[in-house]
């Protein structure tokens, strides 16, 4: 019979993890669909009893989101406008049932190229906090995601939190997701945009695209192009030329590669315009 552990403290979880080989289970919204069985065949550590892994906290240097915080909690929380994109994404992950169970950390550790959580966190310069017995390390999210279904998480590590630095909590943000139906849809493409402005001009810009490359990407060229630009009309500065270098879209059942690349640019422009309308 496989082992199923449900520790109530992080320390217990980490020592159990050091002592054996376990699959970490958070919301379960990716692990259960991957099996036809009525139960899970692997040895499991269930992280959802670890209260320190759940919740959103204001810290002196930013915001800390526990890795096992469910999407519905993020969607409902009162958060600064810089996190609008994250909250919009939270409300579009699956349906309510998935949002009530699925967690932000699980979404990152599952490392789908179409993970809804990644672009909004990239534009927040998110770091992930990874704990192993006796050591905690922090990694920029972009360094944590290595490829489709590949992360930097070590066998004996648990993702404990997502850290949003204070420097990235300025401005307004927007998330747009494109799929072939209204709800319960895996993105064809998605974008997140965070802009800060002074006197109608953009002072900082963070842009990210998901589902158009192995892992979601920030777009440094497009971001630079926006700095100093007037907010109104800024969307037109985003062109395929400065976005394409970061994308490697696939042809698949959901869309063609060409369409993905084109749609991503259009979504970015719209997100920028809409962010402007939200009064940056």
Partner 1 sequence: MKVSLTLNGKAVLLDAEPSLRLSELLREKAGYCGTKVGCDAGDCGACTVLLDGAAVCACLTPAARVEGRSVQTVEAQSETLTRLRDAFHRHGAAQCGICTPGMLMAAAALLAENPTPTAPEAKEALGGVLCRCTGYTKIIAAVCDTTPSPAIPMPGIGHAVGSATPRLDGAAKLAGDVFGADLWKPDGLVVKAIRSPHAAARFRFGDLAAWAKAHDAQVFTATDIPGRNLFGVIVPYADQPALAENQTRQRGEAVALVAYEDGSTPPDLTDFPVIWEKLHALTSPTEATKPNAPRLHLNRPDNLLIKGHVQRGDPATALADSTHTASADIETSFVEHAYIEPEAGAAWMDGDVLVIRACTQAPIMDRDDTAAILGLPHDRLRIIPSAVGGGFGSKLDVSLQPLIGLVTLKTGRPSRMTYSRAESMSSTTKRHPARMTGRIGCDADGLITGMEFDGTFDTGAYASWGPTVANRVPVHACGPYFTPSYRATARAVHTNNTTAGAFRGFGVPQAAIWQDTVYDRLAEAVGIDRLEFRLKNALRDGQTTVTGQAVNAAGIADCLIALRPHWQRALAQAQTLPNRGVGIASCWYGCGNTGMPNPSTIRLGITPQAVLTLHQGATDIGQGSNTVIAQITADALGLPLAQIQLVGPDTFLTPDGGKTSASRQTYVTGRAAHAAGCTLRADILRRLNMGDGATLILDNTCLTATEGNRRATLDLAEMPTNAQGYALMAEETYDPPTTALDANGQGTPYAVYGYGAQMVELEVDPQLGTVKLYKITAAHDLGRTINPLLATGQIEGGIAQGIGLALMEEFIPGRTENLHDYLIPTTGDVPEIESILIEIADPHGPYGAKGLGEHVLIPTAPAILNAIRHATGAEITRLPALPHRILAAMKKAKP
How far is Cα 34 from Cα 31, in angstroms, rounded to an integer? 5
* Alpha-helical runs (H) found in the chain: 10-19, 71-76, 84-90, 96-101, 104-110, 118-122, 141-144, 220-226, 240-243, 257-277
Residue 116 binds to partner 1 (criterion: CB under 8 A):
no
Residue 7 binds to partner 1 (criterion: CB under 8 A):
no
Q: Which of residues 233-272 bind partner 1 (CB under 8 A)?
A: 253-256, 258-260, 262-263, 266-267
Q: How far is the CB of 179 from partner 1 (least distance, A)?
A: 8
Q: Are 206 and 227 in contact (CB under 8 A)?
A: no
How far is Cα 128 from Cα 132, in angstroms, rounded to an integer? 13
Residue 53 binds to partner 1 (criterion: CB under 8 A):
no
Which range, of 97-105, 116-124, 195-203, 206-214, touches partner 1 by CB under 8 A? Answer: 97-105
Work out which of 50, 67, 72, 159 binds partner 1, going by CB under 8 A: 72
Q: How far is the CB of 278 from partner 1 (least distance, A)?
A: 20
Q: How far is the CB of 95 from partner 1 (least distance, A)?
A: 2
Q: DSSP for 218-249? A: E-HHHHHHHTTSBSTTGGGG--HHHHGGG---
- Give whichever of 101 and 216 is closer to partner 1, judged by the CB atom: 101
Using CA atoms in the order 11, 17, 20, 21, what is the torsion angle rounded to 10 degrees?
Answer: 170
- Which residues contact partner 1 (rule: CB under 8 A)? 1-2, 4, 6, 25, 27-29, 32-33, 36-40, 44, 46, 48, 72, 94-98, 100-101, 178, 180-186, 188, 253-256, 258-260, 262-263, 266-267
């Amino acid at each position: 019979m496989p082992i199923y552990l449900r520790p109530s403290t992080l320390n217990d979880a980490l020592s159990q993890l050091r002592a054996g080989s376990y699959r970490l289970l958070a919301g379960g919204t990716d692990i259960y669909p991957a099996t036809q069985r009525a139960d899970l065949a692997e040895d499991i550590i269930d992280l959802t009893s670890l209260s320190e892994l759940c919740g959103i906290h204001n810290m002196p240097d930013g915001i800390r989101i526990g890795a096992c915080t469910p999407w519905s909690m993020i969607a409902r929380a009162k958060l600064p406008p810089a996190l609008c994109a994250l909250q919009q994404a939270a409300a579009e992950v699956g349906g309510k049932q998935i949002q009530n169970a699925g967690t932000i950390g699980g979404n990152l550790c599952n490392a789908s190229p179409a993970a809804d959580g990644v672009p909004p966190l990239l534009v927040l310069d998110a770091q992930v906090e990874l704990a192993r017995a006796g050591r905690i390390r922090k990694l920029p999210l972009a360094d944590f995601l290595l490829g489709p279904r590949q992360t930097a998480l070590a066998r004996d590590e648990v993702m404990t939190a997502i850290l949003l630095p204070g420097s990235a909590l300025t401005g307004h943000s927007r998330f747009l997701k494109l799929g072939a139906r209204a709800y319960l849809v895996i993105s064809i493409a998605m974008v997140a945009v965070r802009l800060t402005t002074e006197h109608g001009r953009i002072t900082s810009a963070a842009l990210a695209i998901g589902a158009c490359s192995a892992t979601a990407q920030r777009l440094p060229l497009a971001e630079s192009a926006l700095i100093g630009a007037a907010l109104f009309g800024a969307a037109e500065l985003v062109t395929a030329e400065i976005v394409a270098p970061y994308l490697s879209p696939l042809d698949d059942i959901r869309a063609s590669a060409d369409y993905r690349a084109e749609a991503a640019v259009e979504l970015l422009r719209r997100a920028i315009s809409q962010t402007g309308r939200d009064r940056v």
